[in-house]
């Protein structure tokens, strides 16, 4: 697996594709969703976004394309014999879908729209479609009046069966004939009417013996009076079967003449449903169209992780920006504080935009980086006897080898899992190499030493996930510009560690380990108070405007 494939998997891009595919209406479009690979060329990305935009403009009027199951014509092409009844009806249904989708888009989009340009190439053949539907009833059975020949054969069969019933009735009403029977009823053998004749009367009832009972007391005889009528019925049924096969073969041959056009139409309609699937997903996730940047910047307002939508009640919405004044963000903060979620959200947003998907946020301006490379999660390999550190470092080395100005890099806990001092130095060297290669990067870390990079190189910017010092819980809010603390001491206090030990740990942290910890904590408190004040000011402003309106 390449580092690009590993990166997409670690960002859970495959799960996005599965969520997307769940909104598809056909198996063909579902496969297109699952096979979706981010585009590289900006023109291709713009085109894919336009397809999604056009489809969504139709869905916004609460109308969806008239599409259901589509037959797999490429599989039918491999079939040498005629198509059976169910296949022919499903083919006709697919052909009707092709025609309806083409007409639907013509009615609901402008002639210049990109989706209409796809739809206008969809093959239709209403005459053949109608011919197939006119041939079968609702139970996939060829209608008795499908053509004059078949109609005549069914009429002949009906007349012959009537004659047979009359002859059987005459026999059963005959006292002499009844005297030879075990019971005055008839039964069927090999699809022919037979009577249960006593063994003693076998020679007195001329006809064909079809069966004998286990006791040899009863002979199942087809009386000679009805043999020619049964023969006639069998002959007519054989002709009916042959005519049905001829009809199926004729229809199959007509379809084969159009099979390449039908395969292409299947492809186009699957593609159209694929674009509508992207639009359905956009509506489901309340997503907006991102703008493709020409400059290597990313700016997202109120982003929500797409895989949390529908699973988490109150998703924290975060703002994110990179590329203008700084090109590397170092996120620090407590465990379970949302660092990884923020990291994955940014990576996913870039991949999703490059795939023509809308994004669950208020606004997004994103540069389509050629490569999105990520190392996230625990990939310890027991089979390869690699430690967690070694496994991650292999990925990081692959990322380093490919890093350039067209690369967006996301690494969770860079150089973790080794000696803290060596890990911090190694992480700093790697980050500076990313900067040297002009790559854009976002990393999370617990190494406090990396917070100082911002003050010596404008390429770097600190960020943190907010921690509420009163509730001693993370808020999952991403704050760019303020470094974070691991908050291990505060979290331990919240879990019940004694006040004396908490106070002692804090003093040691400030005086011996990290003198900046107190300043960072005060910065975070100030930021929280500013946020509260801003919300109160906005509420008062809204209240004031409401009073003015009344």
The pair of three-digit structure tokens given for residue 191, joined into one six-digit string: 């699809």
Query: Tokens 């407590």 map to which residue?
Result: 334
pLDDT tens, position by position, 292-305:
999 999 999 999 99
Same domain, 343 and 390: yes
Q: Are 464 and 479 in contact (CB under 8 A)?
A: yes
- Residue 240: inside a domain: no
Regarding whether 262 and 358 lie in a shared domain, the answer is no
pLDDT at position 511 is 57
Q: Please indicate, yes or no, if residue 250 is contained in any of the structural domains.
A: no
Question: Counting every residue, how long is the chain?
Answer: 550
How does DSSP classify residue 144?
A: T
Looking at 192, 212, 231, which one is the last position of a domain? 231
- Residue 66 sits in the same domain as residue 106: yes
Torsion of CA 48, 52, 53, 54, to 10 degrees: 100
Distance in angstroms (rounded) separating the CA atoms of residues 32 and 266? 13
Q: 364 in helix, strand or coil? A: strand
pLDDT at residue 383 greater than cutoff 60: no
Whether 334 and 446 map to the same domain: the answer is yes
Q: What is residue 66's predicted lDDT score, i.e. its pLDDT?
A: 94
Region 406-415: mean pLDDT is 94
Q: Residue 509: its pLDDT value, please?
A: 58
Report the distance separating Cα 370 and Cα 382, nearest Å: 33
pLDDT for res 544 = 73
Greater confidence, 43 or 388? Answer: 43
pLDDT at 496: 72
Same domain, 313 and 457: yes
Is the model more confident about 337 or about 462?
Answer: 462
Over residues 6-46, the pLDDT tens digits come to 999 999 999 999 999 999 999 999 999 999 999 999 999 99
Residue 391: inside a domain, yes or no?
yes
Domain end marker among 466, 484, 502:
484
Instruction: Please check whether residue 430 lies inside any domain of the structure.
Output: yes
Residue 228's closest CA among 208, 210, 243?
208
- Model confidence over 133-158: pLDDT tens digits? 999 999 999 999 999 999 999 999 99
Instruction: Identify the pLDDT of residue 385.
Output: 45
Tell me the angle at which helices 27-34 and 259-284 cross, rounded to the nearest 10 degrees: 60
Main-chain phi, psi angles of 181, to 5 degrees? -100, 145
Name residue 218's beta-bridge partners. 198
pLDDT at 384: 45
Mean residue pLDDT across the chain = 88
Average pLDDT over residues 324-341: 84
Q: With 90 as the cut, is the pLDDT of residue 260 above it? A: yes
Instruction: For residue 368, give its domain range.
Output: 291-484
Candidates 412, 292, 297, 308; CA nearest to 360 is 308
* Cβ–Cβ < 8 Å for 207, 224: yes
Q: How far is CA 304 from the centre of its chain?
A: 19
Q: What is the pLDDT of residues 32-43, one digit of tens each?
A: 999 999 999 999
The predicted structure's pLDDT at residue 452: 85
Per-residue pLDDT at 450: 87
Task: Note whether 350 and 440 are same-domain residues.
Answer: yes
Same domain, 318 and 419: yes
Eight-class DSSP state of 288: B
Question: Do 295 and 428 belong to one domain?
Answer: yes
Portion of the chain with pLDDT greater than 70, in percent: 87
- H or E segment to which residue 178 belongs: helix 175-178
> 278: closest CA among 363, 365, 354, 344?
354
Residue 249 lies in a domain: no
Same domain, yes or no: 153 and 52: no
Are residue 97 and residue 204 in the same domain, yes or no? no
Q: Is 268 a member of any domain?
A: yes
Q: Is the pLDDT of residue 469 over 60?
A: no
Query: For residues 510 and 498, what is the distance between their CA atoms, to the nearest angstrom?
Result: 19
Q: What average pLDDT does this structure show over 460-488? A: 73
Give this prediction's pTM.
Answer: 0.83
Residue 252 lies in a domain: no
- Return the exposure string of 441-472: e unless at least 16 CB atoms fall within 10 Å of the residue's CB, then b: bbbbbbbbebbebbeeeebbbbbbbbbeeeeb
* pLDDT at res. 382: 42
Q: What is the pLDDT of residue 137?
A: 94
Taking the C-alpha atoms of residue 59 and residue 25, their distance in angstroms, rounded to an integer, is: 14
77-100: pLDDT as tens digits: 888 899 999 999 999 999 999 999
pLDDT in tens, 477-486: 888 888 766 5
Structural domain ending residue among the three candidates 250, 283, 316: 283
Reduced to 3 states, what is the DSSP secondary structure of residue 264? Answer: helix
- How far from each other are the two terminal CA atoms of the chain, in whole angstroms? 64
Sign of CA dihedral 368, 450, 424, 343: negative
Give the pLDDT confidence of 200-233 residue by residue, as tens digits.
998 999 999 999 998 899 999 999 999 999 999 9
Residue 361 has pLDDT above 50, yes or no: yes
Kindly provide the residue ranges of all beta strands, DSSP E only, lying in 271-428, ordered along the sequence: 291-292, 298-303, 318-322, 328-332, 363-366, 371-375, 407-411
- Looking at the fold, whether 424 and 459 belong to one and the same domain comes out as yes
Note whether residue 543 is domain-resident: no
330 versus 543: the higher-pLDDT residue is 330
Place of tokens 């053509």: 147
Residue 371, beta-bridge partner list: 407
Are residues 277 and 305 part of one domain?
A: no
Residue 89 maps to which CATH number?
1.10.1420.10
What's the mean pLDDT in 528-542?
67
Q: In this model, does residue 510 exceed pLDDT 60?
A: no
- pLDDT at position 49 is 97
Reported confidence tier of residue 278, pLDDT bands at 50, 70, 90: very high
Structural domain total, the chain: 3
Burial of 24 from C-beta contacts in 10 A (0-12 / 13-18 / 19+) = buried
pLDDT band at 57 (very low <50, low <70, confident <90, very high): very high
Q: What is the CATH number of the domain that holds 475?
A: 3.40.50.300
pLDDT of residue 448: 80
User: Quick check: 129 pLDDT over 60?
Assistant: yes
Residue-level pLDDT at 190: 86
For residue 319, count other CB atoms closer than 10 A to its CB: 16
Say whether pLDDT at 513 is over 60: no
What does the pLDDT average to over 165-192? 90
- 378: phi then psi, degrees, rounded to nearest 5: -90, 115
């Amino acid at each position: 697996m390449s580092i690009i494939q590993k990166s997409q998997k670690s960002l859970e891009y495959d799960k996005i594709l599965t969520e997307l595919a769940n909104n598809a209406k056909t198996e063909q479009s579902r496969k297109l969703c699952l096979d979706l690979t981010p585009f590289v060329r900006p023109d291709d990305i713009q085109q894919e976004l336009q397809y999604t935009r056009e489809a969504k403009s139709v869905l916004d009027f609460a109308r969806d394309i008239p599409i259901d199951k589509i037959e797999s014509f490429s599989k039918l092409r491999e079939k040498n014999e005629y198509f059976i009844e169910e296949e022919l009806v499903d083919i006709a249904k697919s052909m009707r879908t092709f025609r309806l989708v083409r007409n639907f888009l013509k009615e609901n989009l402008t002639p210049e729209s990109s989706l209409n340009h796809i739809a206008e190439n969809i093959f239709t053949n209403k005459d053949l479609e109608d011919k197939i539907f006119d041939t079968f009833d609702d139970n996939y059975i060829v209608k008795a009046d499908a053509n004059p020949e078949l109609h005549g054969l069914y009429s002949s069969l009906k007349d012959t069966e009537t004659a047979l019933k009359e002859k059987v009735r005459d026999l059963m009403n005959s006292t002499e004939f009844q005297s030879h029977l075990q019971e005055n009823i008839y039964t069927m053998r090999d699809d022919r009417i037979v009577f249960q004749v006593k063994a003693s009367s076998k020679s007195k009832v001329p006809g064909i013996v079809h069966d004998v009972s286990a006791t040899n007391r009863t002979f199942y005889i087809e009386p000679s009076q009805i043999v020619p009528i049964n023969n006639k019925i069998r002959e007519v049924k054989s002709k009916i079967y042959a005519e049905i096969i001829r009809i199926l073969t004729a229809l199959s041959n007509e379809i084969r003449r159009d099979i390449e056009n039908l395969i292409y139409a299947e492809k186009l309609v699957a593609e159209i449903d694929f674009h509508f699937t992207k639009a359905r997903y956009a509506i489901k996730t309340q997503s907006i169209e991102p703008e493709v940047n020409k400059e290597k910047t990313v700016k997202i307002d109120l982003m929500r992780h797409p895989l949390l939508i529908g699973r988490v009640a109150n998703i924290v919405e975060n703002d994110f920006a990179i590329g203008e004044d700084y090109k590397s963000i170092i996120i620090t903060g407590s465990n379970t504080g949302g660092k990884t979620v923020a990291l994955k959200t940014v990576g996913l947003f870039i991949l999703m935009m490059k795939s023509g998907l809308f994004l669950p946020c208020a606004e997004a301006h994103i540069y389509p980086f050629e490569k999105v490379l990520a190392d996230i999660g625990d990939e310890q390999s027991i089979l390869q006897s690699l430690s967690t550190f070694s496994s991650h470092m292999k990925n990081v080395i692959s990322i380093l080898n490919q890093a350039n100005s067209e690369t967006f890099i996301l690494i969770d806990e860079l150089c973790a899992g080794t000696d803290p001092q060596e890990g911090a130095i190694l992480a700093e060297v790697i980050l500076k190499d990313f900067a040297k290669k002009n790559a854009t990067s976002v990393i999370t870390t617990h190494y406090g030493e990396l917070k100082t990079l911002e003050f010596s190189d404008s390429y770097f910017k600190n960020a943190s996930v907010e921690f509420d010092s009163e509730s001693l819980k993370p808020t999952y809010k991403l704050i760019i510009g303020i470094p974070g603390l691991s908050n291990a001491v505060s979290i331990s206090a919240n879990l019940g560690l004694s006040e004396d030990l908490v106070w002692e740990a804090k003093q040691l942290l400030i005086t011996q380990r990290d003198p900046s910890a107190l300043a960072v904590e005060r910065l975070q408190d100030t930021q929280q108070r500013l946020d509260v004040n801003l919300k109160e000011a906005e509420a008062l402003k809204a209240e004031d405007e409401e009073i003015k309106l009344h």
